[in-house]
Structure 1
Amino acid sequence: MISTGEEVLHGDITDTNAAWLSRLFFEQGYALSRRTTVGDQLDGLAREIEHCSLTADIVVVNGGLGPTSDDLTAQAAAMAANTGLELSEHWVAEMEAKYARMGREMPETNLKQALLPQGAEILDNPVGTACGFVMRINRAIVLFTPGVPSEFKIMVQDQVLPYLKALFPSVVSQVCQRLYTFGLSESGISQTLSSLVVPEGVVIGYRSALPFIEVKVFAPQNCPNVSAFYRTIIEMLGDNVVGIGQPMLSEISGLLQENAMTVSVIEEFTGGALVNELHRDEACASLLKDGRFARDFAKTDKDLASLAEAHRRETNADVVLVVGGKRHEAVSVALAGKGAVWVQQVASKRQYSQSSYRTVIATLALDMLRRYLCGMPVFGHYESLSSLSSFSNERRTG
């Protein structure tokens, strides 16, 4: 894949298109062997297209198809293919129709977007004015796509993938099974799973995105051993697996709906992060009866427990989560359920920024909720957090 543009090359914008395409193509059986970025330099881009066309079977070029002077991809493609540019009357008509639907006249500058290398086949863009196109250069099929993410993704899914599947029908798609963990490190997970015998054709991947580690199991479609292998991974990682096939918040959402339970929240240290996270899921947001921010509302963990129980009675919520303030790097979190309350005080073993530490503590509170809803011990083990104290008036937690 070749990404284009000075803004991408110099880091002014993050190349999310490349990451998205890499993931999608791997799952579809078209694993990328190389990714590169080239600025808005005509000769340099033409040389890179030519180089990739001599070493790969498929090349995807992203960006540089707009109407401005720094959009040079079509011209570079023509140079790499040693051909000229020609005006596509078909695409001119398509652009004029798009502008007409908006009640506007098409600017003449947009004619540049219809200047394509001779012999190129158009890839439709139903969203914008930059058509894609495909052509053979040397040994490669080269596909040119717009840089705007919404346009790029639609074109890849509706045009590029069907084109490649028709061209290479024997390519086998990959199935990706995901699970999400909280409280484990990437190296710790790798060590735990090091004794596993990985079935032929199966690949384990990891993705760290604070506060979770996502474990991905890739396998060819109809791989006979992958389901059992996936279940073994879940068993080995234990109750630190907070989401199977979906993120933790989606798991919690399903459990709250299944049990028809409501939640209320009071938070100090997390500063609204816990309520904001619950609002990311429509069902969780609808089951959130109350969310408050307060300061210095509990001096001790017993005060926190009493407040959680009182707030549960006040709001008539099924479960209450309370996050206290940070005192000497320690934060206490309480959960009050029907006839029981749990409180634990933790401190970070790592040097987190304020924002990251808030995220971790908010996730700890949500994990306590998940465990409670699943009938598991509410207190878990987390590699990055020290448990300073904990108590409960419910026997099942020990």
Structure 2
Amino acid sequence: MKIAMLSTGEEVLHGDIVDTNAAWLSSVFYQHGFGLAKRSTVGDKLSSLIEELLMLSFNNDVVIVNGGLGPTTDDMSAAAAAKAAECKLVLFKQWLEQLEAIYARRGIPMPDSNLKQAMLPETAVILDNPIGTACGFKMLINDALFYFTPGVPSEFKLMAETQILPDLKKHNPEVESAACSRFYTFGLSESGISDKLDQMKLPQGYELGYRSYLPFIEVKLFGPSNQVEQRTKLMQIIHKHLEGNTVSIDAPMVEHIGQLLVDKSLTLSVSEKSSTGYLTYWLNGNENVERQFGHGWVLSGNNQTVTDDGDPLAAAFALAGATREKCGTDLALVTGKIEDGVFSVALSTSTGEWGALYQLSRKYPRDDQVKVISAAALDLLRRYLERKPMFGHYVFLQKMKEMHIPSSVL
């Protein structure tokens, strides 16, 4: 079965808004065994809409159309569908009555423009929208089954989950759900990962995928969701190849760290120079970390609270110890100043302190630089929480120095 999604609207086409609906649908449909074969976008022009609907109908079995069901003149999905199917737009009294009831509950008269939302292709079957004024509908265009949905994310998701997916499953009971296991890696190149994993002979129905986004490369294992034992064995093989640089599995790195902090009942404070506040922002995006978080201090590169006297790693150690003491937390994580691409990270704990001096392998844009530095600091914390070797090897960071200070020396 070939399934496509068409997103409509000038604001989507021109990038004024990010098409989160398409990303969400792709993920959810794949998990249920209905992976998309194509995604496309078209603006609010009737001729363009009709042309795209026809092209999709010739090349796909199922098409999900998102957007263009509102009451304004630029909402043209219903009109385009009628033209493509060579049928008339007619008034669906069932939906008109529902619209009138919605406005009656609000205590205001229904605007005349909303009547347009009850005008649908005569061959359409209504898909209910219990939380909005735009009903969805399904119909055939040529031999392809089309589902038309509203663009508002909450309405679209509810319709997809409660009506479209059940309808697809009802008519395609042989389709098996799929699963995707994710390995989040830091410090490897995509080609390096590929060299390690491409020699794997995967069973039928399984495949590997890669997603590269700074500072991580995500390795994805796709396959049937009902083969738990087979999947577990494959994940063990992948993990063996990538273990030194795998920062989390099936959950983003910060989510994983947050769960570790909660499980171990450890509190954390942070002081930042080279990461300029990004590390604190990143950590506090997770509820578990937020519960265990003490204070986050952001210091300018010229701040002389702790002087380095020519030894930036020693300064990072001193700042980590001072941060943990002043904040009264179990752990303190620090990013030291950066100079000529060289930066330091340090972790202070009750059992000792660890730190390293790294040089960036290339010049990054500022936004990317703080992500790499923050991830290097977080990996030091993760390794401590997981009781793993404290210092990793990263292809884009040259380790200039590493140091461990036992608690007996502090």
Matched with 1:19 is 23
Q: 1:347 to 1:81 in 2, by over 3 A?
A: same
Matched with 2:260 is 255
Q: CA deviation at 1:192?
A: 1.3
Residues 347-366 of structure 1: CA deviation (Å, up to 9, x unaligned) = 21133211111111111111
SS of structure 1 residue aligned to 2:376: helix
Letter in 1 for 2:250: G
Contact 1:304 1:334 in 2 (8 A): yes
Matched with 2:83 is 79
Matched with 2:277 is 272
Unaligned runs of 5+ in 1: none
Letter in 2 for 1:325: K
Q: CA deviation at 1:98?
A: 2.8
Q: CA deviation at 1:166?
A: 0.7
- The number of residue pairs the alignment matches comes to 395
Letter in 1 for 2:24: W
Quick one: which of 350, 358, 367 aligns to 1:346? Answer: 358
Matched with 1:210 is 214
Are 1:201 and 2:205 an aligned pair? yes
Quick one: which of 298, 320, 342 aligns to 1:293? Answer: 298
Matched with 2:109 is 105
Give, in whole Å, the separation in 1 of the partners of 2:106 and 2:280.
40
Which runs of structure 1 show a deviation greater than 6 angstroms over 4 or more consecutive aligned residues? Answer: none
Quick one: which of 67, 70, 89 aligns to 1:66? Answer: 70
Contact 1:113 1:130 in 2 (8 A): yes
Quick one: which of 377, 381, 386 aligns to 2:393? Answer: 381
Letter in 2 for 1:303: A
Are 1:5 and 2:9 an aligned pair? yes
Letter in 2 for 1:132: G
Contact 1:59 1:141 in 2 (8 A): yes
Q: CA deviation at 1:40?
A: 1.7
Q: CA deviation at 1:265?
A: 0.9
Are 1:313 and 2:325 an aligned pair? yes
SS of structure 1 residue aligned to 2:38: coil
Residues 68-100 of structure 1: CA deviation (Å, up to 9, x unaligned) = 111111011111111111112221222233334
Residues 111-145 of structure 1: CA deviation (Å, up to 9, x unaligned) = 11111110311111222211110012221111111
Unaligned runs of 5+ in 2: none
Select between 79-88 and 223-232 the one with higher mean Cα deviation.
Answer: 223-232
SS of structure 2 residue aligned to 1:35: strand
Contact 1:298 1:304 in 2 (8 A): no
Contact 1:65 1:71 in 2 (8 A): yes
Contact 2:315 2:336 in 1 (8 A): no
Residues 32-56 of structure 1: CA deviation (Å, up to 9, x unaligned) = 2222222222123123212322322
Give, in whole Å, the separation in 1 of the partners of 2:398 and 2:182.
28
Letter in 1 for 2:235: Y
Give, in whole Å, the separation in 2 of the partners of 1:333 and 1:3.
44
Matched with 1:333 is 345
Letter in 2 for 1:112: K
Matched with 2:146 is 142
Contact 2:33 2:176 in 1 (8 A): yes
Give, in whole Å, the separation in 1 of the partners of 2:131 and 2:359.
50
Are 1:161 and 2:165 an aligned pair? yes
SS of structure 2 residue aligned to 1:152: helix
RMSD: 1.7
Q: 1:99 to 1:235 in 2, by over 3 A?
A: farther
Contact 2:89 2:119 in 1 (8 A): yes
Contact 1:177 1:216 in 2 (8 A): yes
Quick one: which of 205, 219, 231 aligns to 1:226? Answer: 231
Letter in 2 for 1:241: T
Identity percentage over the alignment?
46
TM-score in terms of structure 2 length: 0.92
Quick one: which of 364, 372, 391 aligns to 1:360? Answer: 372
Q: CA deviation at 1:205?
A: 1.2
Letter in 1 for 2:332: V
